[in-house]
Amino acid sequence: METLCWARSQTDLSPAKAPFIIRLLSFFQTSPPLMLNGPAWSQKLRTEIAKAVIGQEAVVERLLVALLANGHVLLEGMPGLAKTLLIKSLGTALGVQFERVQFTPDLLPSDVVGTMIFSPKNGEFTAHRGPIFANLVLADEINRAPAKVQSALLEAMQERQVTIGGQTHPLPKPFFVMATQNPVEQEGTYPLPEAQTDRFLFKLIVDYPSAAEESTMVLRWGQVTKQPALVAASSGEELLELRAQVDQIHVSPAVHNYILALVRATRALTEGPAAQRLLTFGASPRASLALYQAARALAWLRGLDFVSPALVQEIAPDVLRHRIGLTYEAEAKEITADKIVAQVIATTPIPAA
């Protein structure tokens, strides 16, 4: 900036210097802006989200990874852990259109995707778009919706489009579904089918905050008349541009094969005598793709230009825990999906550097 001001001041000194000054000014006016890196983009969003949500740093990082990897997220946790607030704050900080759908047993597909409305003036039907036509859609308590609503949501999640009155309508870009569910209350709920859970890039477990975090939360949200206000720190257009940088992250052939080995190792646990099997089904090929994309996004977010086996191991539980089915014998032994994933990681050879 100082150089630019100096260049402008020199234009009045010597006519002979005019061509040089013009070229110098042209350089500064047309030079592209500095490229935004992962840590800087992450920090500005985290700072804004932290105004409303205290703690949950790991969950926030995974949500940012999902945005970069163009994936949907399922959050599971007890009531009152700020799952809804976290997703709403993310939408505000990202500067995109946000819509919330409260799923209930009497919800209809038209309440989510929209329906055809008859106009008496011209005698024609027109499409009335539902709340699914937003950049970030919060499906609150998704497991309370019946199967017909979940099937309507399935098309939106996978195809990024919905069908209203026999016509296909594309959804805005970027588009994400972030859903929440309660792990303990089962009355009046409909378990998500495997075909739908497989569409979620991550299943994240939201835990209780620490004592210090809970104390800060009470002080920050304890006032009735004044609550934290968030502003947009990014945009949907910026997010779409940043994905091109994520695609430049290098994945070596060794790490590529390691990702495949981890996913295929879950399928090996479905074989053998019935009494010794731990899984009824292993992770699908979509899990391999999700692990590959998520590891790249995590590497970029942390300022790395390559994917390491450590990053793959770190993010594998969030990618795989909802993509494997436990047998009755495994559940009787109190073996969880996370224990299975940990076993797979521990027994799969790590590629040499």
For the stretch 201-214, pLDDT in tens is 999 999 999 999 99
Q: Which residue has the tokens 């539980």?
A: 317
For residue 208, being part of any structural domain is answered with yes
- CA torsion through residues 261, 63, 100, 94, sign: negative
Query: Which pTM was predicted?
Result: 0.84
Q: Note whether 263 and 312 are within 8 A (CB).
A: no
Helices 236-246 and 38-49, axial angle in degrees (round to 10):
140
pLDDT digits (tens, 9 = 90+) for 325-352: 988 888 888 889 999 999 999 999 988 7
Which of these three, 234, 267, 282, is where a domain ends? 234
Residues 81 and 223 in one domain: yes
| Domain range for 342 | 248-347
8-17, 115-124, 193-202: which has the highest mean pLDDT? 193-202
- The torsion angle over the Cα atoms of residues 99, 104, 106 and 107, rounded to 10 degrees, is 20
Residues 265 and 148 in one domain: no
Does the pLDDT of residue 17 top 80, yes or no? Answer: no
Q: Note whether 45 and 234 are within 8 A (CB).
A: yes
Q: Which two tokens stand for residue 103?
A: 């799923």
Residues 220 and 264 in one domain: no
CA dist., res. 83 & res. 180, Å (int):
7
For residue 207, being part of any structural domain is answered with yes
Is 23 or 150 the better-scoring residue by pLDDT?
A: 150
Q: Which two tokens stand for residue 230?
A: 């968030």
Cα R_g (the chain), whole angstroms: 25
CA dist., res. 47 & res. 167, Å (int):
42
Q: Note whether 226 and 279 are within 8 A (CB).
A: no
The number of C-alpha atoms within 13 Å of 347 and in the hemisphere containing its C-beta is: 12
Does the pLDDT of residue 2 top 50, yes or no? Answer: no
Name the residue among 206, 204, 228 with its Cα closest to residue 216: 228
pLDDT digits (tens, 9 = 90+) for 213-269: 999 999 888 888 888 889 999 999 999 999 999 999 999 999 999 999 999 999 998
Q: Note whether 297 and 61 are within 8 A (CB).
A: no
Residues 257 and 291 in one domain: yes
Residues 304 and 178 in one domain: no
CATH number, domain with residue 262: 1.10.8.80
CA dist., res. 312 & res. 255, Å (int):
8
Summarize the confidence of residues 299-311 as an average pLDDT. Answer: 94
pLDDT digits (tens, 9 = 90+) for 57-89: 999 999 999 999 999 999 998 888 888 899 999
Predicted pLDDT at 274? 73
Predicted pLDDT at 341? 94
Q: Note whether 81 and 124 are within 8 A (CB).
A: no
Q: Are strands 161-164 and 279-281 parallel, antiparallel or unpaired?
A: unpaired
- CA torsion through residues 152, 132, 83, 107, sign: negative
Does the pLDDT of residue 13 top 50, yes or no? Answer: no
Which of these three, 189, 206, 234, is where a domain ends? 234
Predicted pLDDT at 31? 41
Summarize the confidence of residues 10-14 as an average pLDDT. Answer: 48
Q: Are strands 136-140 and 98-102 parallel, antiparallel or unpaired?
A: parallel
Residues 149 and 252 in one domain: no
For residue 14, being part of any structural domain is answered with no
CATH number, domain with residue 110: 3.40.50.300
CA dist., res. 65 & res. 29, Å (int):
34
Which of these three, 182, 207, 234, is where a domain ends? 234
Give the total number of structural domains in the chain: 2
Residues 177 and 48 in one domain: yes
